[in-house]
Amino acid sequence: MKITVVGTGYVGLVSGACLADVGNDVLCLDLDANKIRVLEEGGIPIHEPGLLDIVRRNVAAGRLSFTTDPERAARFGTVQFIAVGTPPDEDGSADLKYVLAAARNIGRYMDGYRVVVDKSTVPVGTGDQVRAAIAEELEARGAQLAFSVVSNPEFLKEGAAVDDFMRPDRIIVGAEDERAIELMRELYGPFQRNHEKLLVMDVKSAELTKYAANAMLATRISFMNELANLAETLGADIELVRQGIGSDPRIGWHFLYAGCGYGGSCFPKDVKALVRTGHDRGHDLLILKAVEEANGAQKRRLVDKIVARFGEDLSGRRFALWGLAFKPDTDDMRDAPSRVVIEELFRRGATVVAYDPVAMNEARRIFGEEPRLAYVERPMEALPDADALVIVTEWKEFRSPDFERIAGVLRQPVVFDGRNMYDPAVMRRYGIEYYGIGRR
């Protein structure tokens, strides 16, 4: 099948590459010429495990190609995926200008039947706006061409996006005509050979499903963080509480880890957008407002602990920081807790020496030539002359470090662990003053 994917970010590039990998002929469009140049030179503009090999393999096989030409893209694929960004607007709502621009380009240049698939995370009702935008362009041309609009939200975790696409838990298809539904069944056939995973529903329900999923996961995270903060005041251990409730099959184990808050391109943006959607329709989503407020406070939790230990004035203090990305296996720092921690330390006069396996270039882009922020190539190189170690991202290489060396190299053997990676009893054994989140 011929497929066009508009957008070469996490969603678009992963979707295009994986669809090509099962034999489809895929053309990816991006108006950012630098991104297309990187792709055509054999690289990828993002960090995602396993993606580079798939892209290179399918480019070499002739199944995956790239363009900056909207006309070529609109004329290429029968299925047109829209996978562009929907950044938050000033009021917290999703900004649809890129989605609607993509839809208008399709309507302006399409030359036959098209299934236009909203892959971006979009508010309920976007399908209607996409349909109207395409219809307006066709009318302006005087063209009478049939098309369908489908909602097919993505459920890809950054750091595991390739595996999530190739082995999906479910495939949500919001569509209201049989022709489009059958094409989507054909398209996703290779990804559900074991059993049926495709759930067909109306477009608006599919759009809401995506927001509901992310909002639920964000809620679990903020709930556990609130309990962790309570556990500290009660003398309880949130890790033991996590095991106690996670073993209940009605609750399960996923997204029950306390920490220093969630970030990334999805949860913060989607919670804000859903709250705004509720507000616009006269529904005050009180739980999600609390989730958002709790997460904002949790990102400052590590700094609160640092201040409680070292005082409000951190002038002359130096902190080693492990982890810049909002989660492991990505270089994404959008809304990352590390950004709040670093800024708050700066505000109090401290300097930071940071290490992250893949996100340091992104940090340099965000912070620029910042004299208070230095970078090192190995985690242990951040420790000399540091007053404490602050852990913000739970990379695997941080799981079992040389604790004796940490205690010996730091100016003071103090560790602030924002991801509860270590056992407090082990830390005590090595003489390390340890501060976790909700740990006794």
Tens of each residue's pLDDT in the chain, 440 residues: 999 999 999 999 999 999 999 999 999 999 999 999 999 999 999 999 999 999 999 999 999 999 999 999 999 999 999 999 988 877 778 889 999 999 999 999 999 999 999 999 999 999 999 999 999 999 999 999 999 999 999 999 999 999 999 999 999 999 999 999 999 999 999 999 888 999 999 999 999 999 999 999 999 999 999 999 999 999 999 999 999 999 999 999 999 999 999 999 899 999 999 999 999 999 999 999 999 999 999 999 999 999 999 999 999 999 999 999 999 999 999 999 999 999 999 999 999 999 999 999 999 999 999 999 999 999 999 999 999 999 999 999 999 999 999 999 999 999 999 999 999 999 999 999 999 999 98
| Structure token digits, residue 393 | 């991202």
Q: What angle do CA 42, 43, 46 make, to 5 degrees?
A: 155
Query: What per-residue confidence (pLDDT) applies to 185?
Result: 97
| Structure token digits, residue 329 | 């296996």
3-state secondary structure of 313: coil
Q: How far lies 393's CA from each of 38, 160, 340, 380, 396, in Å? A: 28, 16, 13, 15, 9
3-state secondary structure of 289: helix
Distance, CA of 227 to CA of 217 (rounded, Å): 16
Query: What per-residue confidence (pLDDT) applies to 301?
Result: 97
Per DSSP, the residues of 239-256 read HHHHHHHHTSTTT-STT-
Catalytic residue numbers read 266
Contacts of 102 (CB under 8 A, 6+ apart): 6, 7, 82, 84
| Structure token digits, residue 256 | 């029950």
Q: What angle do CA 108, 109, 114 make, to 5 degrees?
A: 100
Q: Are 353 and 338 in contact (CB under 8 A)?
A: no
Total residue length of the chain:
440
Query: What per-residue confidence (pLDDT) applies to 92?
Result: 79
What is the distance of C-alpha 406 from the center of its chain? 31
DSSP H or E segment with residue 332: none
Residue 374 backbone phi and psi in degrees, to 5: -115, 160
Q: Are 57 and 91 in contact (CB under 8 A)?
A: no
